[in-house]
Amino acid sequence: MLKIDSVTHSFPGVAHRVLDNVSLEVPEGGFFSLIGPSGCGKTTLLRIVAGLLAPAGSGEVYVDGVSLIGPSPEKAMVFQHFNLLPWRTALDNVAYGPELQGVPKKERHELARKQLQAVGLEQYVNHYPSQLSGGMQQRVGLARALAVEPKVLLMDEPFGSLDALTREYLQTELQKLCEKSKVTVLFVTHSIDEAIYLSDRILVMGRNPGRIVRELEVELPRPRWSYRARSEPSFAKLRDQLWDQLQNEMAEGEGQEGSRGGHSE
C-alpha cells in the first residue's frame, strides 16, 4: 500500500506552489494513474514519492505504513526516457538494483535473466541498450524496476516516447506483469486512453497550484486485454468525462501560464 500525505512543494524563486497539499492512497496491488495538463506537478509528485526530490514544503510518503520519504528499493521507478545505463548490457542493467543491494553476481544474473524472460527479452541479455529498439529498452527498464521486487512501482509516462503500436502492446504486457507480481502502481501519463485502459482509479490534477481535482473509478472488468475494453461504452463515457475535466483544467491554468515553475517534464 502506498500512502502520500499532504505533500506540498515549491521551487525556489517561484511564488506559487507546484504541489499544494496532495494526499492519496493506493491500496495494495492497486493501479492508480495521475493525469493532468503539463505544469500540474504530476512528474514532480512522482519524483518526490521516488525520493529523487525532497519536498520543499511538507509531506510524508508511506509504504505499508512505514515512512519512506527518501529513495528505497521498495519503490522502483520506470522512467520516461528509459534511462538504461548505456555501458551495461541488458542483463547488467536489470541486475543493477540487486547489485547495489549486494546480491552476488551469479544470483543477480539469474534473477535478471528471469526478469528479462518475463518481458520477453531472454534472447537479448547481452545486447547493449543502443542495440535495442525503444520498446525493448523500456521493457528492460520495466524488468530492472521489478528486479528489486518493489512493493510500489512508480511509472513516469513510461510509454510516452514510443510509437502507438508498441505503446498498446506494452500496456497489455504491463497489465499481465502487474497481475503476476501484485505490485502497487502509481502511473503518470498524459494519455486519457492509457489511463482508462490501465487504471483502477484515475486522479485528475489541476495546476496553479498542483492538486488533485477529481477522482474517477474505472470499473471495466479485468483482465482488460481479454476483450475489446477500448470499445466498451463505459470506456467512451469515461474518456468524455476526463476530456471535459482536463479541458477545464487547461483553461483555468492558461492565464497564469507565464508564472509557471521551471520544472520540465
Partner 1 sequence: MAIATPTDEVLETSILGRARNLRGSPRIIRVGSVLFVLAMWEVIGRANPLFTSYPTEVASGVLELMTDGRLAPALLTTLQGLGAGYFIAIAIGIPLGFAMARIRTLDIALNPYVAALYATPRIAIIPLLVLWVGVGFQLRLTIVVLSAVFPVIINVRDGAKEVDRNYMDVAKSLAAGRWQTLRTVVLPGSLPYVFVALRIGAQRAMIGVIVAEMTSAIAGTGRLLLDLARVYQTDKVMVIIFIIGFFSIFVTSTLRMLQTKASPWRAESRGG
For the bound state, the minimum distance from the C-beta of residue 255 to partner 1, rounded and expressed in Å, comes to 32
The string of DSSP letters for 155-193 reads EESTTTTS-HHHHHHHHHHHHHHHHHHT-EEEEEES-HH
By C-beta, is 161 or 248 nearer to partner 1?
A: 161
By C-beta, is 12 or 221 nearer to partner 1?
A: 12
Strand partners, 77: 154
By C-beta, is 57 or 134 nearer to partner 1?
A: 134
| Nearby residues of 75 by Cβ (< 8 Å), 6 or more positions away | 2, 49, 50, 51, 61, 63, 68, 150, 151, 152, 154
Cβ atoms 218, 224 nearer than 8 A:
no
By C-beta, is 188 or 229 nearer to partner 1?
A: 188
For the bound state, the minimum distance from the C-beta of residue 68 to partner 1, rounded and expressed in Å, comes to 10
Site residues (vs partner 1, CB under 8 A): 50-52, 70-73, 75-77, 79, 81-88, 96-97, 99-100, 128-131, 133-134, 137, 148
Give the relative orientation of helices 134-147 and 105-118 as an angle to the nearest 10 degrees. Answer: 130
For the bound state, the minimum distance from the C-beta of residue 94 to partner 1, rounded and expressed in Å, comes to 12
For the bound state, the minimum distance from the C-beta of residue 69 to partner 1, rounded and expressed in Å, comes to 12
Cβ atoms 239, 192 nearer than 8 A:
yes
By C-beta, is 7 or 152 nearer to partner 1?
A: 152
For the bound state, the minimum distance from the C-beta of residue 74 to partner 1, rounded and expressed in Å, comes to 9
3-state class of 96 per DSSP? helix
